[in-house]
Amino acid sequence: MSKLIPPHGGKGLTCCLLEGDELAAEKKKAEGLKKISVSPREKGDTIMMGIGGFSPLTGFMTKADWKNVCDNFQLADGTFWPIPVTLSASKEDADGINEGDEIALYDPENDEILATMKVTEKYEMTEADKKYECEKIYKGEGTPTAEEFWKIAGEDHPGVQMVMEQKEFNLAGPLKVLSEGEYPTEFAGIYMRPEESRKIFEEKGWSEIAALQLRNPMHRSHEYLCKIAVEVCDGVYIHSLVGNLKPGDIPADVRVKCIDSLVKNYFVEPNVVQGGYPLDMRYAGPREGLLHATFRQNYGCSRMIIGRDHAGVGDFYGMFEAQTIFDQIPASDDPGKMLLCKPLKIDWTFYCYKCDGMASLRTCPHDKEDRVLLSGTMLRKLLSEGGELPDHFGRDEVVAILREYYEGLAERVEIKMHTAATGDDE
């Protein structure tokens, strides 16, 4: 019997990805169906439902699910879920679709049909509905009022922009997933299905695994977080996003090289597993921290490392709001419907010259001037501008990989600094 945490939702891994003869037959049928183009975010969500990463979801959400997730962190049946997973369609497309119809979900970037879906519901998403979702999901302590939020969110929050750019209708219904896109080939050896990571953990005899979410290059703070997790758990799962990011972020293949270098040179390798997953960042801060824990439970992780400004962007969220939100989610009498993956809450970490090592606000008594404040945003800004990094900011092997990447860029995106990256609110 497995010692691992069970998948979320109490139904095991709910995988919608077809194989063999069933896949061949569905692909043939899909060619004759009405095609709906999916956004990169919807593509990632589709694949995650295909491989069981979004268990217990097996399709895009109904209006009732969407509303209850926004309001109560739960699907309509009471199962915990923190962020809407929806499929949008234009009015023109939606007018030609009736409930009960089957449609094909088309990835225009790869010219590929990703999935088929039986439409069980079609509902309008007005401008007011989209704004409602944005305020419920993306508004944090950094912008406490709706007026403050909307003053900057429309231009500066990529997650809000994604929602507001969605089309006029949402379509709900169960999926039959036909492809994992480019991920199995482009990220061979890194991209994993939940069943694969679970198998690795079981072969190692692990039961307590902490997941590290990674979208930035791995600097000394990330390394320290992982080593704390290794001390208190059986192992750590460095789980990188290999989907789309915002302009200026480091691409996945470069981040993977950085992780490989760190694991090889600075970790006891058997205590670390590296993997990748196919989602886009939503930059939803606290709510996204909950989503990260939810699907990491499906990958077999019992703890989710939550540090400073987890999944944040700009100054929209409080520094540790992604930690405190775990204490605010609703309970359930049914353990299968609850979030079982718990946060591993770690304070702001940095290198301290006087401590002569990595430390945190909980362990270091010294002043800000004695500390090298580490941030992925600051790392990207300094490297993109050809600046020198402070001593102890990153490992030499990682910095060399990143400098090579930036030197090869034809165009560079301006990296905006914010409070969480500078330590000005400490």
Give me the mean pLDDT over the 125-142 stretch: 98
Taking Cα atoms as reference points, which of 267, 266, 258, 225 lies closest to residue 240?
258
pLDDT value, residue 411: 64
Amino acid 273: pLDDT: 97
234 lies in some domain: yes
Whether residue 6 is contained in a domain is answered as: no
Catalytic residue among 41, 68, 170, 216: 216
Tell me if 115 is assigned to some domain.
Answer: yes
142 pLDDT more than 50? yes
Select from 234, 196, 258 the least CA-distant residue to 401.
258
Whether residues 321 and 227 fall in one domain: yes
Does position 420 have pLDDT exceeding 60, yes or no? Answer: no
pLDDT at 229: 97
Within this chain, do residues 175 and 35 fall inside the same structural domain, yes or no?
yes
By the 8 A CB rule, do 164 and 96 touch? no
Of the listed ranges 188-192, 259-263, 416-420, the least confidently predicted one is 416-420
3-state helix, strand, coil in the chain (%, to 5): 40, 20, 45
Are 172 and 193 in a shared domain? Answer: no
The closest of 104, 102, 85, 83 to 42, measured between CA atoms, is 85
* pLDDT of 120 strictly over 50: yes
Residue 242 maps to which CATH number? Answer: 3.40.50.620
User: What's this model's pTM, rounded to 2 decimal places?
Assistant: 0.93
Q: Average pLDDT for residues 147-172, to the nearest whole number?
A: 96
- Do 191 and 176 reside in the same domain of the chain? no
Distance CA 317, CA 348 (A): 15
Report pLDDT for 389: 79
Interval 369-415: pLDDT, tens: 999 886 666 777 777 777 777 788 788 998 899 888 888 876 655 55
pLDDT > 70: percent of the chain: 94
Cis amide prior to 56 (ω within 30 degrees): yes
Q: Which of 191-200, 249-258, 274-283 reaches the highest mean pLDDT?
A: 191-200
Please tell me whether residues 340 and 196 are part of one structural domain: yes
Residue 403 to residue 386: CA distance in whole angstroms: 8
pLDDT tens digit string along 76-95?
Answer: 999 999 999 999 999 999 99
- Whether 247 shows a pLDDT value over 80: the answer reads no
Domain match, 117 and 246 both: no
**Cβ neighbours of residue 313 closer than 8 Å, sequence gap 6 or more:** 156, 157, 158, 159, 246, 283, 285
- Report whether pLDDT(271) > 70: yes
Judged by DSSP in three states, 335 sits in helix
pLDDT, average across residues 135-155: 96
Q: How far apart are CA 163 and CA 85, in angstroms?
A: 11
Please tell me the least confidently modeled range out of 13-27, 274-288, 374-388, 395-409.
374-388
pLDDT of 226 above 90? yes
- Let me know if residue 368 belongs to a domain: no
In this predicted model, what pLDDT tens digit does every residue of 291-312 receive, in sequence order?
999 999 999 999 999 999 999 9
Q: Which residue has the tokens 């915002």?
A: 246
Are 299 and 331 found together in one domain? yes
Give 426's pLDDT tier (boundaries 50, 70, 90): very low
Residue 213 has pLDDT above 60, yes or no: yes
Domain carrying residue 324: 185-346+401-406
* Confidence (pLDDT) at 387: 73
Residue 419 has pLDDT above 70, yes or no: no
What is the arithmetic mean of pLDDT over 26-48?
A: 98
Angstrom distance (rounded) from CA 241 to CA 243: 6
pLDDT of 383 reads 77
Q: What is the DSSP letter of 213?
A: E
Indicate if 318 and 204 belong to the same structural domain: yes
More confident call, 58 vs 259: 58
> Is position 310 within any domain?
yes
- The yes-or-no answer on residue 362 being catalytic is no
Looking at the fold, whether 114 and 214 belong to one and the same domain comes out as no
Q: What is the pLDDT of residue 414?
A: 57
Predicted confidence (pLDDT) at residue 423 exceeds the cutoff of 60: no
Q: What percent of the chain has pLDDT over 90?
A: 79
What pLDDT, on the 0 to 100 scale, is given for residue 191? Answer: 96
Q: Tell me, yes or no, whether 157 lies in a domain.
A: no
Of 198, 215, 220, 296, which is the active-site residue? Answer: 215
Quickly count: other Cβ atoms within 10 Å of residue 159's Cβ. Answer: 25
SS (H, E, C) 111-156: CEEEEEEECCEEEECCHHHHHHHHHHHHCCCCCCCHHHHHHHHHHH
Q: At 370, list the tokens.
A: 């004695």
Q: 108 with 189, same domain?
A: no
Task: Report the C-alpha gap between 309 and 343 in whole angstroms.
Answer: 14
Same domain, 278 and 318: yes
> Do 177 and 219 reside in the same domain of the chain?
no
pLDDT at position 402 is 86
**Considering the domain boundaries, does residue 14 fall inside one?**
no
Distances 420 to 13, 193, 201, 293, 376 between C-alpha atoms, Å: 36, 33, 34, 22, 10
Q: Mean pLDDT score of the chain, rounded to an integer? A: 92
Q: Within 13 A of 28's CA, how many CA atoms are on the CB side?
A: 6
* Residue 299, domain member (yes or no): yes
* Known catalytic residue at 215: yes
pLDDT of 194 over the 50 cut: yes
Closest CA to 288 of 158, 147, 155, 152: 158
Helix 63-72 with 127-138: angle, nearest 10 deg: 40
**Confidence at residue 421, expressed as pLDDT on a 0 to 100 scale:** 47
**Total tally of structural domains belonging to the chain:** 2
Tell me the β-bridge partners of 304. Answer: 211, 343
CATH code, domain with 113? 3.10.400.10
